[in-house]
């Protein structure tokens, strides 16, 4: 197995993305907050008053 050759190859871009803790952190919190919290509270705020 040509170990040396493998080690010299640049990291695949996918691996770099999977290794980026901060990107994953921000996306995780952003998606959850917008789709679940923000949208949900907007729904509640839009409940009309009884006639």
Which residues contribute to the site for other proteins (CB under 8 A)?
A: 1, 6-7, 9, 11-12, 14-15, 18-19, 21, 24-25, 27-29, 31-33, 35-37, 39-41, 43-44, 47-51
Q: What is the nearest approach in angstroms of other proteins to the Cβ of residue 50?
A: 4
Contact 21, 15 (CB under 8 A): no
d(CA 14, CA 8): 17
Q: What is the nearest approach in angstroms of other proteins to the Cβ of residue 2?
A: 13
Q: What is the nearest approach in angstroms of other proteins to the Cβ of residue 23?
A: 10
Max distance between CA atoms of the chain, in angstroms, equals: 77
């Amino acid at each position: 197995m040509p170990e040396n050759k493998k080690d010299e190859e640049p990291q695949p871009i996918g691996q770099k993305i999977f290794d980026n803790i901060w990107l994953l952190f921000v996306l995780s919190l952003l998606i959850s907050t917008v789709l679940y919290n923000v949208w949900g509270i907007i729904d509640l705020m839009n409940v009309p008053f009884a006639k």
